[in-house]
């Protein structure tokens, strides 16, 4: 895969990705909905060493997730865009919010997580694997 780039709405935070995705998912958990302000979050996961912040320093917010893991949200302190993240249950993996990629055309989510919490008007894809809660280990 070619190097991918992305950043926040105001441009203060920029990053680049040099590796292949580990997985991609739509997440319907309460925390993802609140963090995105949307009915679900679409996230692509990469090896931590393949994701590099090239401009700015994201602010971090830590919170417990439905899974019991500690989640890290990394966002721009100026415009509030959440760009990156991580979870204690997946060491060595970093998440990228699809909406912050400059070109997200390569992304193909394979799964939908926390479908038991999906909002009633949200239609789940027939092309993804569905999990009532988090992804099985």
In a domain, 82, yes or no: yes
In a domain, 133, yes or no: no
Residue 43 sits in a domain whose CATH number is 2.170.150.70
Element (H, E) at 43: strand 41-47
In a domain, 134, yes or no: no
Coil, strand or helix at 23: strand
- What are the tens digits of pLDDT across the range 5-41? 999 999 999 999 999 999 999 999 998 999 899 999 9
Looking at residue 68, what is its pLDDT? 83
Q: What is the rounded average pLDDT of the residues 74-80?
A: 97
Number of domains in the chain: 1
pTM: predicted TM-score of the whole model, two decimal places: 0.92
- What are the tens digits of pLDDT across the range 122-132? 999 999 999 99
Question: Domain range for residue 10?
Answer: 4-118
Question: Percentage of the chain with pLDDT > 90?
Answer: 83
In a domain, 30, yes or no: yes
Long-range contacts of 88-95 (CB under 8 A, 24+ apart): 89/65, 89/137, 90/45, 92/47, 92/48, 92/49, 93/22, 93/45, 93/46, 93/47, 93/48, 94/45, 94/46, 94/47, 94/48, 94/50, 94/51, 95/43, 95/44, 95/45, 95/46
- Average pLDDT value over all residues in the chain: 94
């Amino acid at each position: 895969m070619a190097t991918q780039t992305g950043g926040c709405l105001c441009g203060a935070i920029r990053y680049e990705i040099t590796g292949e995705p580990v997985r991609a998912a739509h997440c319907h958990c309460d925390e993802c909905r609140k963090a995105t302000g949307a009915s679900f979050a679409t996230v692509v996961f990469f090896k931590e060493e393949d994701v590099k912040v090239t401009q700015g320093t994201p602010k971090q917010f830590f919170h417990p997730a439905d899974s019991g893991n500690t989640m890290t949200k990394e966002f721009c302190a100026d415009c509030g865009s959440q760009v990156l993240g991580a979870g204690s249950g997946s060491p060595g993996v970093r998440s990228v919010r699809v909406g912050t990629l400059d070109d997200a055309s390569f992304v193909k989510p394979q799964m939908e997580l926390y479908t038991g919490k999906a909002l009633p008007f949200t239609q789940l894809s027939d092309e993804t694997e569905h999990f009532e809660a988090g992804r099985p280990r």
